Amino acid sequence: MFSLEGKNSIVTGGGSGIGRAIAEALATQGAVVDILEVDLDGAAETISAIEVAGGTAAAHECDVTDQGATLAVFEKIVGERERLDCLINNAGVAHVGNVLDTTEEDFDRVMGVNAKGVFNCLKAGVTHMQAGGGAIVNIASTVSVSAINDRFAYSTSKGAVLAMTYSVAKDYLEQNIRCNAILPGRIHTPFVDGFIAKNYPGREEEMFKKLSEYQPVGRMGKPEEVAAMAVFLCSDEAAFITGCPYLVDGGTINIR
């Protein structure tokens, strides 16, 4: 079950955190993985881990906010691989702030990567999936359906990702393109450690404990747990699933 043998996949932001875990999980299940990244050093580390484990992967420098560049990279990849079966829209940036202390530059940056970047990749991905179908997984967030303090721009962008998920799922039913979203809660990645160190110097252990206990299960999620959901949604076992948001949040939304 959940074999992706023979499938070609593209993962954006696969150089670190959740994106790296997804890229490695897809490769473990047999998929060929092409990573789109602005951080080629991080992408190279992911590629190395995949190849050591016997998988096949390649990295491509790409700023997903640039539509022309994004379309060209997809064209190149699909030209080499011959088709695209799975697309994971994971690339994103974070921002802390409410509506008053979010600047126009902050808002444009977050929306540019998190919303426009997903739009650009959806346009490219759907273009190449129309002939043979495929599975798209968008990484949204629990903040796309529920508010937390000081995440105005980030929540707005992730709400857009969820809306795009529904639209693509509806519009491309006849082309056998499935589009779903994963809504992670707080996941322990290097970004979280950096955020704590930057904003709470000297209180790292205290804040890590506090942020972990926010989830009803009493800990943060692991990138591999989000990756497992992505593998499932890309697999043939999920063939009857489209237009759905999947919480991977330790019970935060429904039972907190």
pLDDT digits (tens, 9 = 90+) for 46-87: 999 999 999 999 999 999 999 999 999 999 999 999 999 999
The answer to whether the beta carbons of residues 169 and 179 sit under 8 Å apart is: yes
pLDDT digits (tens, 9 = 90+) for 82-135: 999 999 999 999 999 999 999 999 999 999 999 999 999 999 999 999 999 999
Buried/exposed 157-179: b ≥16 CB within 10 Å, e otherwise? bbbbbbebbbebbeebeeeebbb
Tell which residue, 147, 143, 133, 162, has the closest CA to residue 236. Answer: 133
154 is annotated as an active-site residue = yes
Which of 154, 166, 200, 246 is catalytic? The answer is: 154
Instruction: Supply angle C-alpha 12, 13, 17, rounded to 5.
Output: 135
Would you tell me which CATH number, out of the four given (3.30.1540.10, 3.30.565.10, 3.40.50.2300, 3.40.50.720), belongs to the domain 8-185+223-244?
A: 3.40.50.720
Beta strand spans in 76-185 (E): 86-89, 134-139, 177-184
- Quick one: pLDDT at residue 145? 98
pLDDT digits (tens, 9 = 90+) for 15-34: 999 999 999 999 999 999 99
- Quick one: pLDDT at residue 256? 87
Give the rounded percent of residues in the chain with a pLDDT score beyond 90: 97
Position 142 confidence tier, pLDDT thresholds 50, 70, 90: very high
pLDDT digits (tens, 9 = 90+) for 167-221: 999 999 999 999 999 999 999 998 899 989 988 999 999 999 999 999 999 999 9
pTM: 0.97
Tell which residue, 253, 20, 12, has the closest CA to residue 144. Answer: 253
Q: What residues does CATH 3.40.50.720 cover in the chain?
A: 8-185+223-244
Q: Which residues contact 170 (CB under 8 A, 6 or more apart)?
A: 243
Secondary structure (3-state) at 5: coil
